[in-house]
């Protein structure tokens, strides 16, 4: 079996306690080898998902009867859009552990396979009630995405309307939920309302998990650009530092700002513009007829 290179600094101490417990069913030498491959999966999953996938396959060949290995292989397949493989691995992990926390990502795999109806069916299964709050929010996001896949845009908006969306508290999933709601409003032709929710998503997105600031800039006619220095013909055109400038109306027909990065966009908006209404709640939503 082909072995992939693993840096010397990789140790089994980097894996979660639950995974270590799973690996205790293996001989120590084998457990250490599997653990090192799982660490590489975790390290590379976001930045180099294809490489993470390769390491996950090694771990899978070494210990296919370990639930944590099946779960890691599932996420590596999911991140590389191998949705059929991911669904197989997630089902195996669920069968081995009896846990339901993978239910939302399993439903999203159904979407990836072009089966949004199946994802919606999963959103109504008893497993959803066993999910924690974060899991229920994830399931709501997947269900709204499935509605959008079916072009049921108003229904997608209604699906996302929830106490979690109405709450002013900030949780790890808040920015993504507000962003998804704004995006659903855009698809439903309600751009004015969408802008308000993109503002709220920017306020909650402290770690850059969404491109809400960029979407807000698009709505407000703000663009990003790089300027090229064409002064030197001998050396050819060379890139210069991006510049901030305002385009004259005569140039483009409207009044737009061009910024070099998202930080400039956030500085451009007044703090009051990004302030979230602390008093808004679930009752503030306009009633929408449920579809589908």
Residue 235, SS3 per DSSP: coil
Structural domain boundaries, residue 128: 100-218
Residues 110 and 154 both lie in one domain? yes
Q: Examine residue 291 and state whether it is found in any structural domain, yes or no.
A: no
Say whether pLDDT at 236 is over 50: no
Q: d(Cα 207, Cα 212) in Å, to the nearest integer? A: 12
- Exposed/middle/buried for residue 208 (C-beta within 10 Å: 0-12, 13-18, 19+): exposed
The pLDDT score that the predictor gives to residue 10 is 63
Residues 179 and 191 both lie in one domain? yes
pLDDT digit string, tens, across residues 146-171: 999 999 999 999 999 999 999 999 99
Residues 111 and 204 both lie in one domain? yes
Q: Examine residue 274 and state whether it is found in any structural domain, yes or no.
A: no
Q: d(Cα 146, Cα 4) in Å, to the nearest integer? A: 38
The pLDDT score that the predictor gives to residue 262 is 52
Alpha helix (H) ranges present in the chain? 17-23, 28-44, 49-62, 67-79, 83-97, 103-112, 116-123, 133-149, 153-160, 163-166, 174-187, 191-204, 212-219, 249-252, 262-268, 271-274
Boundary (domain end) residue, out of 43, 67, 98: 98
Q: Examine residue 106 and state whether it is found in any structural domain, yes or no.
A: yes
Residues 3 and 90 both lie in one domain? yes
Residues 6 and 36 both lie in one domain? yes
Comparing 18 with 223, the larger pLDDT belongs to 18
The pLDDT score that the predictor gives to residue 238 is 45
Residues 124 and 143 both lie in one domain? yes
Q: Examine residue 290 and state whether it is found in any structural domain, yes or no.
A: no
Q: Examine residue 271 and state whether it is found in any structural domain, yes or no.
A: no
The pLDDT score that the predictor gives to residue 156 is 98
Say whether pLDDT at 252 is over 50: no
Residues 211 and 104 both lie in one domain? yes
CB neighbour list of residue 280: distance below 8 Å, 6 or more residues apart:
166, 168
Q: Examine residue 4 and state whether it is found in any structural domain, yes or no.
A: yes
Boundary (domain end) residue, out of 98, 131, 160: 98
Q: Residue 229 — very low, low, confident or very high, per pLDDT cuts 50/70/90?
A: very low
Boundary (domain end) residue, out of 69, 98, 127: 98
Say whether pLDDT at 243 is over 70: no
* Overall residue count recorded for the chain in this entry: 292
Residues 29 and 138 both lie in one domain? no
Residues 127 and 148 both lie in one domain? yes
Q: Examine residue 80 and state whether it is found in any structural domain, yes or no.
A: yes
| CATH code of 87's domain | 1.25.40
pLDDT digit string, tens, across residues 93-150: 999 999 999 999 999 999 999 999 999 999 999 999 999 999 999 999 999 999 999 9
**Other residues' Cβ atoms within 10 Å of the Cβ of residue 203:** 19
Query: What are the tokens at 236?
Result: 């050819």
Comparing 195 with 248, the larger pLDDT belongs to 195
Residues 150 and 167 both lie in one domain? yes
pLDDT digit string, tens, across residues 48-87: 999 999 999 999 999 999 999 999 999 999 999 999 999 9
Comparing 281 with 150, the larger pLDDT belongs to 150
Q: Examine residue 272 and state whether it is found in any structural domain, yes or no.
A: no
Residues 106 and 214 both lie in one domain? yes
pLDDT digit string, tens, across residues 198-228: 999 999 999 889 999 999 998 888 765 554 5
Residues 121 and 162 both lie in one domain? yes
Query: What are the tokens at 165?
Result: 């969306």
| CATH code of 106's domain | 1.25.40.10
The pLDDT score that the predictor gives to residue 226 is 54
0.75 exceeded by pTM:
no
Domain count, the chain: 3
Q: Residue 17 — very low, low, confident or very high, per pLDDT cuts 50/70/90?
A: confident
CB 100 within 8 A of CB 127: yes
């Amino acid at each position: 079996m082909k072995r992939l290179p693993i840096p010397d600094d990789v140790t089994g101490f980097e894996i979660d306690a639950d995974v270590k417990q799973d690996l205790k069913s293996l001989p120590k030498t084998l457990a250490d080898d599997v653990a090192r491959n799982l660490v590489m999966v975790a390290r590379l999953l976001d930045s180099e998902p294809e490489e993470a996938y390769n390491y996950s396959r090694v771990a899978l060949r070494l210990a296919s009867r370990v639930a944590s290995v099946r779960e890691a292989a599932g996420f590596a397949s999911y991140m590389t859009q191998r949705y059929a493989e991911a669904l197989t691995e997630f089902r195996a992990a669920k069968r081995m552990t009896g846990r339901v926390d993978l239910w939302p990502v399993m439903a999203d795999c159904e979407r990836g396979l072009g089966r949004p109806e199946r994802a919606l069916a999963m959103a109504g299964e008893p497993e959803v009630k066993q999910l924690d709050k974060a899991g229920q929010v994830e399931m709501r996001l997947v269900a709204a995405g499935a509605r959008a896949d079916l072009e049921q845009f108003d229904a997608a908006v209604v699906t996302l309307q929830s106490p979690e969306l109405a709450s002013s508290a900030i949780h790890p999933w808040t920015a993504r939920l507000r962003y998804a709601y704004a995006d659903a409003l855009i698809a439903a032709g309600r751009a004015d309302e969408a802008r308000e929710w993109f503002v709220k998503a920017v306020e909650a997105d402290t770690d850059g998990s969404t491109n809400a600031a960029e979407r807000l800039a698009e709505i407000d006619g703000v663009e990003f650009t790089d300027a090229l220095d064409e002064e030197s013909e001998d050396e050819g055109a060379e890139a210069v530092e991006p510049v901030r400038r305002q385009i004259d109306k005569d140039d483009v027909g409207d009044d737009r700002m061009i910024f070099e990065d998202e930080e400039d966009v956030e500085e451009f908006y007044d703090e009051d513009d990004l302030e979230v209404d602390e008093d808004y709640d679930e009752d503030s939503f306009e009633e929408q007829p449920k579809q589908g």
